[in-house]
């Protein structure tokens, strides 16, 4: 199990909470536009979710914020 966790951490630095990452801090502190709580709530269902929007409409930021809440 420890090997799996180590591998995941090397592939995804979001799993290492203690690591100071300026880009991560910028993303997490940016505006979620009020969508984050409703998206988190829908994660309780076993349906596929998609986030659609025009370019530069905070989709990636929302995904990063969701990841941070889940992990």
* Residues 19-50 pLDDT 10s: 566 777 777 777 666 788 888 888 888 888 88
Tally Cβ neighbours within 10 Å of residue 38.
Answer: 8
Would you tell me how many other CB atoms lie within 10 Å of the CB of residue 3? 7
> Which pTM does this prediction carry?
0.60
Q: Specify burial of residue 28 (Cβ count, 10 A radius: 0-12, 13-18, 19+).
A: middle
Q: Write down the pLDDT at residue 16.
A: 65
Two tokens at 21? 């990452």
Nearest to 43 by CA among 15, 66, 68, 14: 66
């Amino acid at each position: 199990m420890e090997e799996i966790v180590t591998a995941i951490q090397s592939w995804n630095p979001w799993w290492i909470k203690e690591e100071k990452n300026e880009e991560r801090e910028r993303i997490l502190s940016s505006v979620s536009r009020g969508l984050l709580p409703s998206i988190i709530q829908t994660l309780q269902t076993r349906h596929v979710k998609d986030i659609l929007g025009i370019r530069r409409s905070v989709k990636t930021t929302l995904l990063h914020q969701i990841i941070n809440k889940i992990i």
